[in-house]
Structure 1
């Protein structure tokens, strides 16, 4: 708090208690140094302003490209995650953006993609950025049941069909992929970085 404002509050006709005073005074006595108040110190980006704004830009890009919202600007992407719905793409994308400052696109295969069994033209020129996520059918059914219980979307048959189709596409197109069934978001992200050789932008 600004010292002048603090004093005004303490001098005002009200009950006021500076809950930090005793702590600050104790630290001051112990280390024999005067405190130097600075406005908004806890929220200042300071010397790391470049990293801060890089992180914000990565998060904004990743949110704008979540779940196939848009396929524009793929040239700016660090990585493009592919997989069936509910295989862990969105949380992994956001984690990689927030923790590593990476710009991540994630795209869920829809019925048209599964019927076509071909990569979208937009992905063809960015093959080196493609990475697949898959999951065990039982685990996928469990996750989808929690979202839409009793639906065809969550049925064992549908989940198995989608996974078999997408994994066949990954193999045919030589797209690296991992199974996320028993992995945390942190583990998925680390393995993706290891497999791709991608370097995190933020340390």
Structure 2
């Protein structure tokens, strides 16, 4: 067990993203992860350093600290030998200043600030759209959708919709394929006008049964043979109707979203084919 701190004068998201990516390369070690956001005054910095030193004493080894601090009044507090300090700002900002011929602004929270109000409001609108169009509700305005995800219930449609909306401003609806949709050779009536917007998600039947079993144990809905039937029929429908699809069983939401953007040609922050 090693303790890892993510220290930031903002939200800590940048430190966490960098840290999680690096820690993932050390699968044999268990990490205790602690985030210390909004360390934006000398007093808070002193308190955070005290917490880190106390953890070092408790663990009997040095914590690992991912820092994304830019305030010159705060950064000096994290020059300590009692922790391994990893600071990407120190590593890269000076190189960029030299290359660009201009000093950094050292502005706290710049990475997650609302720089472009239009883009920000577009992301909020996309999130609201995804929530309003979850599981096929509000079908009347699917013309506004940039993308419509289809697949059996619990195949990962809702989290993928919300991720695409929040991170990329893509308006995504989703439609759950049910046994009622498997009888005909064509698309469900609601989806037929929007064939070009459709993208499918599928999943291993065994994994689907596990997920459904957590939600409704010992139900027909979660039965292994029913899950196998639904997945096979949904995949057959997608192949007949030339709907591209991905298997979500071993893909993260980030991988799903990025692959969907790449395969559909949708552009970040505004939809539309790129």
Q: Following the alignment from structure 1 to structure 2, what is the Cα–Cα distance between the partners of residues 192 and 133?
A: 10
What whole-Å deviation, never above 9, does each CA across 1:62-86 have from its counterpart, x for those lacking one?
A: 1100111121211110100000000
Give the match for residue 177 of structure 1. Answer: 245
Match of 2:195 in 1: 127
Which of 93, 111, 116 is the matching residue for 1:48? Answer: 116
* Shift >3 Å, 4+ stretches: 19-24, 115-118
Whether 2:191 is the aligned partner of 1:145: answer no
Unaligned runs of 5+ in 1: 1-18, 31-40
Maintained 8 Å contact 1:117/1:165: no
In 2, Cα distance between equivalents of 1:118 and 1:76: 23
Deviations 1:114-152 (A, max 9, x none): 334531233222111100000011111111111111101
Find the structure with the greater CA-based Rg: 1
Q: Give the Å deviation of 1:23.
A: 7.3
Residue 167 (structure 1) aligned with residue 235 (structure 2): yes
1:154 matched to 2:225: no
Structure 2 counterpart SS, 1:92: helix
Aligned length: 171
- 1:172 to partner: Cα distance: 0.4
How far is 1:48 from its partner? 1.6
Secondary structure at the residue paired with 2:140? coil
Matched residues in 2 for 1:23 and 1:186: separation?
33
> Structure 2 CA distance, aligned partners of 1:116 and 1:69?
22
**Aligned residue for 1:79?**
147
Q: Indicate if the aligned counterparts of 1:71 and 1:122 stay in contact, CA closer than 8 A.
A: yes
Partner of 1:189: 257
Is the contact between residue 153 and residue 159 of structure 1 (CA under 8 Å) also seen in structure 2? yes
SS at match of 1:122: coil
In structure 2, the CA distance between the partners of 1:184 and 1:21, relative to structure 1 (3 Å rule), is closer
1:134–1:167 Cα contact (<8 Å) kept: yes
* Cα distance in 2 between the residues matched to 1:171 and 1:21: 60
Name the structure with the higher strand share: 2
Query: How far 1:49 sits from its partner (Å)?
Result: 1.1
Between Structure 1 and Structure 2, the one with more helix by share is 1
* DSSP-derived class of the 2:119 partner: helix
2:73 to 10, 13, 27: 27
Residue 180 of structure 2, aligned match among 100, 105, 112: 112
- Normalising by structure 1, report the TM-score: 0.76
**2: CA distance, partners of 1:59 / 1:136:** 28
Q: Give distance in 2, aligned partners of 1:73 and 1:93.
A: 16
Query: C-alpha deviations, 1:91-112, integer Å up to 9, x for none?
Result: 0000000000000001111232
> What's 1:88 paired with?
156
Question: CA-atom RMSD, angstroms?
Answer: 2.6
Q: Is the deviation greater in 192-201 or in 169-178? A: 192-201
What residue is the counterpart of 2:127 in the other structure? 59
Q: TM-score, normalised by structure 2?
A: 0.57
